[in-house]
Amino acid sequence: MNIRAAVFDFDGVIIDSVKVQEYAFYESYKQVVGEGNPCFKEFLSHAGDAIDRIFEKMGLPLEMVGPYRSISRENVSKIIVFDGVENLLTQLKEQGVKIGLCTGKDRVRTIEILRTLGLEKYFSAIVCSDDVPHPKPHPGSLLRCLQLLGSQPEESVMIGDAVYDLQCAKAAGVRGIAALWGETLQEQLYAEGADEYCQSVRDLQAVFTQREKIYPLAITDIDEQMICVSGVNEKGEWIRPEPLYQSDLTGEDGPLFSYRCQSDLFVVPSTAEEQRVEDRDLLRRYEINISDPLTDKEWLALLCTNCTPSVQAVFECGRSIGLIQAEVIDIQYGRNLGGGKKIRMIFRDQTNEEYNFIVADRQLKERILQQLNEQGEWDCIAREQLLRQLTKGKLYLTVGLTRRVTGFPGPYNGCHPLVTGVHLIPHFVNKREDVQVHVPVIQHT
């Protein structure tokens, strides 16, 4: 579905106002009725409707409407925007998606809150309960919003946290998305039925995001819980989805990332404070798909296509990762300047420049550490065996930079240089005359 317009409910979707609502509800009841214990949960069950209609349905005096609105306005500074909402709205603006607001609030309070929170600029159409004869769940307010946006129901979505929102969307012929990140009554939403359910704002981002297909060319351990994966997409762009966990490689259903395999996933531009050009935020980890492995010929073609002539060429344009063809000179294992023991690789790139980088590639590290555990030491025999194997073909290395470390000297602006991927293509594959040097497109089924 090509989404051209997104219409949002306000409370419980864009803003977290439930504490202000609760306070205004009990205080207005106390001012008008006196002591008592009205049911706030019932109040929430009518979310999306106009406030006077809610009080009427609950059998409460309509004289509460004035105090409720006044108390709510007095406490507008206590209303907050849900985490990730502004990033989502910015993403939609950049994608050219028209954004509307369809709320059960009155216009005066709605505009006041939007301006207080700096959100008014995102919405091209705003329809409130007092703008239409019949508020939600009647479809009139949503259809009016789409009319102002210049969009048709079949190319639009409605995002809400209440049954009335979903009923309104259905009646208008619009795809309804249930937002479950606020203090909503989820059992009612599941009973009503939605076209899609989003547990978080990040889940919702994926609805408006095209899948990215990447071939991992670097898989490293960050610590006992976290991993780092970098690879190239079908355009040859480097992508580093974050965050990723050890379980993404060791789960019961198999790894979500593997060399030679294509991973199909949702990513959006990174929101990290210190971000590298390849960094992306991963959405919906549970929807990552992985393809069958490439053949030797296809894998060689992929490596050749994405290879950079030198280490210098990888990093000179602000990138933090890239692929080179290299000749290994030595593999060393010993104490690092920081005190811990590290595996280091000394190698030459195609310009004959020599480098000495820490090895972070997960597979090579595991192999060496397993040998150390079995033999108790890294001896000359083990080293020579590994060196011989790494020269039995064409060697490609993924080289990368860590995030900047304060006070760390060196030529890479405070970043540690690493070998993050080690890929050896046997000689018998290199000699085949029918190797096609192109990025193969693997169709996911």
Going by pLDDT thresholds of 50, 70 and 90, the confidence category of residue 28 is: very high
Quickly state the pLDDT bin for 340 (edges 50, 70, 90). Answer: low
Q: Residue 131 carries which DSSP code?
A: G
pLDDT tens by residue, 199-220 = 999 899 999 998 999 999 999 9
- Whether 438 has a pLDDT exceeding 50, the answer reads no
133-164 pLDDT tens trace: 998 999 999 999 999 999 999 999 999 999 99
What mean pLDDT comes out for the span 119-134?
A: 95
Tokens matching residue 281: 């935020």
Q: What is the pLDDT of residues 309-326, one digit of tens each?
A: 999 999 987 899 999 999
pLDDT of amino acid 407? 66
- Does 137 sit behind a cis peptide bond, omega within 30 degrees of 0 on the bond before it? yes
Q: Note the pTM of the prediction, 2 decimals.
A: 0.76
Spatial separation of the C-alpha atoms in residues 41 and 37, rounded to whole Å: 11
- Residue 90 has a pLDDT of 94
Token readout for 32 is 């008008």
Give residue 76's pLDDT.
87
Per-residue pLDDT reduced to its tens digit, 291-300: 999 999 899 9
3-state helix, strand, coil in the chain (%, to 5): 35, 25, 35
**What percent of the chain has a predicted confidence (pLDDT) above 90?**
65
Lowest mean pLDDT among 13-17, 136-140, 330-334, 344-348: 330-334
CATH numbers and ranges of domains, the chain: 5-206 (3.40.50.1000), 211-290 (2.40.50.140), 296-430 (no CATH)
Average confidence score pLDDT of the chain = 89
Is residue 182's pLDDT more than 90?
no
Q: CB of 270 within 8 A of CB of 280? A: yes
Looking at per-residue pLDDT, the higher value among 348 and 48 belongs to: 348
Q: How many Å from the N-terminal Cα to the C-terminal Cα in the chain?
A: 19
pLDDT tens-digit series, residues 229-268: 999 999 999 999 999 999 999 878 889 999 999 999 999 8
Span 119-145, average pLDDT: 95
218's enclosing H/E stretch is: strand 211-221
Per-residue pLDDT, 333: 84
Q: Which of 29-38, 268-277, 388-397, 406-415 has the lowest average pLDDT?
A: 406-415
pLDDT of residue 339: 58
pLDDT bin (cut points 50, 70, 90) of residue 434 is very low
Burial call 188-207: b when 16+ CB within 10 Å, e when fewer: ebeebebbeebebbbbbbbb
Query: What mean pLDDT is predicted for residues 286-291?
Result: 91
Q: How many CB atoms lie within 10 A of CB 445?
A: 6
**pLDDT higher than threshold 60 for residue 439:** no
Rounded CA-CA distance 255/269 in Å is 24
Rounded CA separation 432/417 (Å) = 34
